[in-house]
Amino acid sequence: MNSNITLNVLKQPIVPCSFEPLTGYFRDGCCKTDESDFGSHLVCAVVTDEFLQFSFRQGNDLTTPRPEHRFPGLLAGDQWCLCINRWLEALEANCAPKIKLESTNMKALEIVSLELLKEYSIDLLD
């Protein structure tokens, strides 16, 4: 990973998504990525029970703790860096969680529009 500043979708320095639980591909609290992140963990989401159940049905259990991966298991209300494609799948299934734009990686804009992300934003007041 390079030392350049990571930007969010608002083209500002990215704000950490969560330290409790500790999220991010690099487990640094931020939705940062590099070429080794095949899942593209770009979206800072506030997970819901509905989304967690959806993810489980898709084969990704986000509720069971996995200490060997420094993963505590998620509860509704936790903020977590999601793979952009999983968020889009949840969107199609009408259970996409809300997101924090200030903590969502600018690379997400290569896959989804800012306008769509804004519709699910918890940190935009307008």
Q: Is residue 124 part of a domain?
A: no
**Count of structural domains, the chain:** 1
What's residue 69's pLDDT? 79
**Which tens digits make up the pLDDT trace of 34-55?**
999 998 999 999 999 999 999 9
Q: Is residue 13 part of a domain?
A: yes
The partner residues of 46 in beta bridges, in order of sequence, read: 79, 98
Q: How far apart are CA 44 and CA 23, in angstroms?
A: 9
One-letter amino acid at 60 equals: N
Residues making up the chain, counted from first to last: 126
Q: Is residue 123 part of a domain?
A: no
- In the block, tokens 């903590």 appear at 103
pTM of the entire predicted model: 0.91
Q: Which residues of 93-118 are buried (b: 16+ CB within 10 A; e: fewer)?
A: eebbbbbbbbbbbbbbbeebebeebe
CATH number of the domain that residue 57 is part of: 3.30.56.110
Domain that holds residue 59: 1-118
Q: Is residue 126 part of a domain?
A: no
Residue 48 neighbours by CB distance under 10 Å:
17
Q: In what order do the strands lie in the sheet with 98-99?
A: 79-83, 41-46, 98-99
**Which tens digits make up the pLDDT trace of 76-104?**
999 999 999 999 999 999 999 999 999 99
What's residue 3's pLDDT? 52
Q: Is residue 112 part of a domain?
A: yes
